[in-house]
Amino acid sequence: MMDSVRTAFKGKAALITGGMGFIGSNLAIRLANLGAKVTVLDSMIPDYGGNEFNLAPVKDRVRVNYCDIRDQSALNYLVRGQDYVFHLAGQVSHLMSLSNPFPDIEMNITGTAFLMESLRKYNPSAVCVYTGTRGQYGSSVSLPVNEEAPTNPKGIYEISNLTAEKIIKVYNDVHGVRAVLLRLSNIYGPRSQMMHSHFGVCNWFVRLALDNDTIKVFGDGSILRDFCYVDDTVEAIIKSASTEAAYGEIFNVGSDIPVSFLELVEAIVSVAGSGKWEYADFSAERKAQEPGDFYSDITKIRRIVGWEPTTTLANGLAKTCEYYRKNREYYWSK
């Protein structure tokens, strides 16, 4: 599998929308190290996840284009000649999507339609990978959750991700733009925004612990999630991009090892060697949106793509703490 990934990307052109952000920058670094010609598109909207420092290890090897996913003419230009298009740009906060739904709808739904139109017209032979969210399922009907489970999103962000996924699927089925549709669980690791708690809960808890602050655990802390380290997530993205049998398919990307929030915060405090935690009540807004226990069934991606996560929570948290300790100045304020 390693060899097929190497040959799939060496000398190939790859566009990453949202490539200055958390997952996009880790993907850009991995692809550049595999010998791909990487172009990053990012609008760098304040308070979103974009950070120039994220691309520091490859800054001389990656082309950056500062533009918005809603700029059709820029997309028309940027998609040309690309072998792969990884679509990661978007409004990613479900809390923000509830206080103002319009940026989310414009970027995640209309922006996705702009990208797919550019691909249809100017590069229909590129392979596209989209990173949606486990939130598309809403509350779990049974656990673990597989790709056949009903989708009942509990927020505008989750609706916009599901809609974007369906738009891309239409371009795959009707226009022949080959696409892989991923539904990511909770991703953590280096290069996430660490300025506020609007999105990226695990990374935010890491910041609180490193600052020796108190982490608030909502409810009784028993809610289950599957946390997935960003390097594993990047492997899932590139392996599915280079697996023909994956085209047109939806895959969960997560872990089938569930962890409660209590276990998570205890692990973070232990690995960081600082910080503490306490119970707190859900705000009414958070309570209304909380989907309850979730963890992914990853049987399908294991079988078709040959991917599974390999980083334990303790190892992933150790690498995460080490990265932010070393690079705190680039993440704590901007």
Choice between 200 and 258, CB closer to ligand NAD: 200
Choice between 136 and 172, CB closer to ligand NAD: 136
Q: Measure the CA angle with vertex 181, ends 69 and 15; round to 5°.
A: 40
Where helices occur in 10-122 by DSSP H, the ranges are 22-33, 72-79, 94-99, 101-104, 111-122
CA distance 175 to 170: 7
> Among 28-36, 77-85, 89-97, 169-177, which window interacts with ligand NAD (CB under 6 A)?
89-97
Look-up of token digits 């309570």: 287
Residue 24 in the binding site for ligand NAD (CB under 6 A): yes
- The DSSP bridge partners found for residue 181 are 130, 250
Total residue count of the chain as it appears in this document = 334
Sign of the dihedral defined by the CA atoms of residues 146, 151, 156, 160, in that order? positive
Residue 69 in the binding site for ligand NAD (CB under 6 A): yes
Among 89, 236, 250, 321, binds ligand NAD (CB under 6 A): 89
Site string for ligand NAD, 185-224 (x = CB under 6 A): -xx-----x------x------------------------
The CA R_g of the chain, rounded to the nearest whole Å, is 19
Torsions phi, psi of 218, nearest 5? -75, 145
Which tokens hold the place of 65?
């284009």
Residue 316 in the binding site for ligand NAD (CB under 6 A): no
CA distance 237 to 333: 29
Residue 162 in the binding site for ligand NAD (CB under 6 A): no
Choice between 136 and 242, CB closer to ligand NAD: 136
Among 9, 16, 90, 128, binds ligand NAD (CB under 6 A): 90
CA distance 29 to 19: 10
Residue 105 in the binding site for ligand NAD (CB under 6 A): no
Residue 49 in the binding site for ligand NAD (CB under 6 A): yes
Among 1, 33, 45, 176, binds ligand NAD (CB under 6 A): 45
Choice between 70 and 328, CB closer to ligand NAD: 70
Residue type, 72: Q
Among 14, 23, 29, 241, binds ligand NAD (CB under 6 A): 23
Among 13, 30, 42, 147, binds ligand NAD (CB under 6 A): 42
> Among 17-25, 112-120, 293-301, 313-321, which window interacts with ligand NAD (CB under 6 A)?
17-25
Residue 36 in the binding site for ligand NAD (CB under 6 A): no
Query: 159, exposed or middle or buried, with CB in 10 Å at 0-12, 13-18, 19+?
Result: buried
Torsions phi, psi of 119, nearest 5? -65, -45
Is 180:252 a contact under the CB 8 Å cutoff?
no
The least CB distance from residue 14 to ligand NAD, in Å, is 15
Q: Alpha carbon 148 to chain centroid distance?
A: 21
Binding site for ligand NAD (CB under 6 A): 18, 20-24, 42-45, 48-50, 68-70, 88-92, 107, 111, 131, 133, 161, 184, 186-187, 193, 200
